[in-house]
Amino acid sequence: MPLITVHLIENVFTAEEKVDMITKLTDAMVQIEGEAMRAVTWVKIEEVPEGQWGIAGQALTAGMVHQMQRAA
């Protein structure tokens, strides 16, 4: 049974967006391995508190991630 773990910075994605991630990640596994995988594919979302996730030596906040999203 596949277990897909997604780590996110808290306060970045809405509850609806997280449900959409779960659905799409499950669909991706089904696309790879077949419909029989749907019932046994687990998706777990783990949120990391703001400031406790860093990149390039800088701790990230939700506001910083939102700013990156707008720039993209």
In angstroms, the CA 28 to CA 34 distance is 10
Residue ranges making up the domain that contains 59: 3-71
pLDDT at 31: 97
When divided into structural domains, the chain yields a total of 1
Per-residue pLDDT tens, the chain, 72 aa: give them.
899 999 999 999 999 999 999 999 999 999 999 999 999 999 999 999 999 999 999 999 999 999 988 998
pLDDT at 1: 87
CATH number of the domain bearing residue 33: 3.30.429.10
The first and second tokens of residue 64, run together, are 């910083």
pLDDT at 49: 97
pLDDT at 4: 98
The first and second tokens of residue 35, run together, are 């419909």
pLDDT at 56: 93
Residues contacting residue 38 through CB under 8 Å, at least 6 positions apart: 26, 29, 30
Yes or no: say if 60 and 9 are a contact pair by the CB < 8 Å rule. Answer: yes
